[in-house]
């Protein structure tokens, strides 16, 4: 059933720059290889497999957990983004992933899933990268956390996504290294704006179609710079947001429906702010006094020592 003539089966070609990746690839290879022809013959059979990939506790997934870096590509739920999908299965890109120690490339490919399957099938040589793909997922959190670098668990991978705000927000929440690639075919290229802002604020790397290898390189510079490889395990944000952090805009808005109340509350707030500023001044004065006295004491000490 397996096709024995592909270069992947050739032992000579298995020697790749990173021994870890090779090892992992070798262990995953039979599995991967045997699935492929069936996919090619009947695309309908692919569904169960892709769904299986979503499963958190699938044995498949558990086996992969100790593997090398993981690259997750997502193009969002609304529109297809075929250019990006084309880009990520270019040999240069796979080569680049391999040289950075990646072992898995996971793709959420939306409406172009069938097409992508055919493309992956046609690849002559995958540079030791295991390519997984599925159409949509409910459990984005799982896929993204797989790319978050945690100390002693896994090295940081990379999320390559379209520049949609939902995806970016989610990826930033998990502190996974992110490359955003705006989709130029969308209406007036509005995603580019957000991608530029992300680059400016150093939230993510702005990836340009055609230069994704550079983007990966820069993403790894960021990983080193921000030490994203050894973060603490992810803890979700506390839910009832602390009262001092809460967004109170809408509460004030409700108060505008009750004008007397609004007046009263504003008065109270102003009083509170005055009190606060008083207290602050007091503290500042106290701190200044403290500093003065310590300086005086120091001077005294030094004088004593001189004497």
Partner 1 sequence: MAAPILALKGEKAAPQIHITDAGMSTSLQSRPGHDIQSQNLRNKTTAHSPNFTTLQETQQPPPENKNANMLECFEFFGEDDFAVAFFFGLITVLATALIAFFVLSWSWLTAIAIVVAVFILFRHVSLKFERPHVGRDWISRGNQRQSSTSIPDIDYLPAVYFLYVLGSGGHTTEMLEIIRQKIHGQPNQHRRYVINKGDSSSQERVQQLESIIRDAYPDERVGTRDAFLIRRARDVHQSALTAPLTCLMSAGQAVLALTREPKSRPAARYGYQFKYPHVVVTNGPATGFIICVVARLLKIFYLVPQNRLKMVYIESWARTQTMSLTGRLFAWTGIADMVCVQHQSLARRTGAEYIGAIAAPLALQNYNPED
Which of 70, 65, 73 lies closest to 89, judged by CA?
A: 73
Residue 240 CB, shortest distance to partner 1, in Å, is 5
Nearer to partner 1, 125 or 136 (CB): 136
Contact range with partner 1 by CB under 8 A, out of 21-29, 92-100, 219-227, 283-291: 219-227
The verdict on 189 binding partner 1 (CB under 8 A) reads: no
Report the site for partner 1 in 140-159 (rule: CB under 8 A).
none
The verdict on 282 binding partner 1 (CB under 8 A) reads: no
Applying CB under 8 A, among 28, 74, 119, 175 the residue interacting with partner 1 is 175
Applying CB under 8 A, among 165, 283, 284, 291 the residue interacting with partner 1 is 165
Element (H, E) at 229: none
Nearer to partner 1, 70 or 148 (CB): 148
Report the site for partner 1 in 6-45 (rule: CB under 8 A).
none
Q: Give the separation between CA 62 and CA 142, rounded to whole angstroms.
A: 13
The verdict on 74 binding partner 1 (CB under 8 A) reads: no
| C-beta separation of 118 from 85 below 8 A | no
The verdict on 262 binding partner 1 (CB under 8 A) reads: yes
Applying CB under 8 A, among 60, 86, 150, 196 the residue interacting with partner 1 is 196
Which of 279, 252, 275 lies closest to 265, judged by CA?
A: 252
The verdict on 302 binding partner 1 (CB under 8 A) reads: no
Applying CB under 8 A, among 3, 51, 299, 302 the residue interacting with partner 1 is 51
| C-beta separation of 95 from 126 below 8 A | no
Applying CB under 8 A, among 3, 189, 266, 299 the residue interacting with partner 1 is 266
Residue 82 CB, shortest distance to partner 1, in Å, is 14
Contact range with partner 1 by CB under 8 A, out of 14-22, 118-126, 255-263, 295-303: 255-263
Q: Which residues bind partner 1 (CB under 8 A)?
A: 47-48, 51-52, 54-55, 76-78, 111, 135-139, 163-167, 169-170, 172-173, 175, 190-191, 193-194, 196-197, 202-203, 222, 225-228, 237, 239-241, 243-259, 261-262, 265-266, 268-269, 271-273, 275-276
């Amino acid at each position: 059933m397996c096709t024995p003539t592909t270069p992947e089966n050739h032992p000579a070609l298995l020697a790749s720059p990173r021994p870890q990746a090779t090892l992992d690839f070798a262990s995953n290879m039979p599995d991967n290889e045997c699935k492929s022809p069936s996919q090619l013959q009947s695309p309908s059979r692919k569904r169960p497999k892709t769904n299986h990939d979503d499963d958190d506790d699938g044995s498949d997934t558990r086996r992969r957990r100790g593997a090398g870096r993981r690259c997750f590509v997502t193009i969002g739920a609304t529109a297809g983004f075929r250019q990006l999908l084309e880009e990520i299965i270019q040999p240069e890109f796979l080569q680049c992933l391999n040289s950075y120690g990646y072992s898995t490339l996971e793709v959420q490919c939306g409406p172009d899933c069938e097409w992508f399957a055919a493309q992956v099938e046609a690849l002559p040589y995958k540079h030791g990268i295991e390519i997984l793909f599925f159409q949509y997922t409910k459990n984005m959190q799982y896929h993204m956390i797989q790319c978050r670098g945690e100390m002693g668990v896994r090295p940081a991978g990379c999320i390559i996504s379209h520049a949609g705000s939902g995806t970016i927000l989610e990826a930033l929440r998990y502190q996974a290294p992110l490359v955003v690639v705006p989709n130029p075919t969308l209406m007036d290229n509005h995603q580019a704006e957000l991608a530029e802002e992300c680059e400016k604020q150093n939230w993510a790397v702005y990836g340009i179609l055609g230069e994704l290898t550079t983007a990966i390189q820069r993403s790894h510079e960021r990983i080193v710079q921000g030490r994203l490889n050894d973060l603490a395990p992810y803890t979700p944000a506390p839910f009832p947001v602390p009262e001092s952090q809460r967004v109170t805009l809408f509460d004030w808005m409700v108060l505008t429906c009750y004008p007397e109340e609004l007046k009263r509350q504003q008065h109270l707030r102003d009083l509170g702010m005055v009190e606060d500023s008083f207290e602050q001044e007091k503290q500042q004065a106290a701190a200044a006094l403290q500093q003065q006295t310590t300086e005086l004491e120091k001077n005294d000490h030094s004088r004593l020592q001189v004497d």
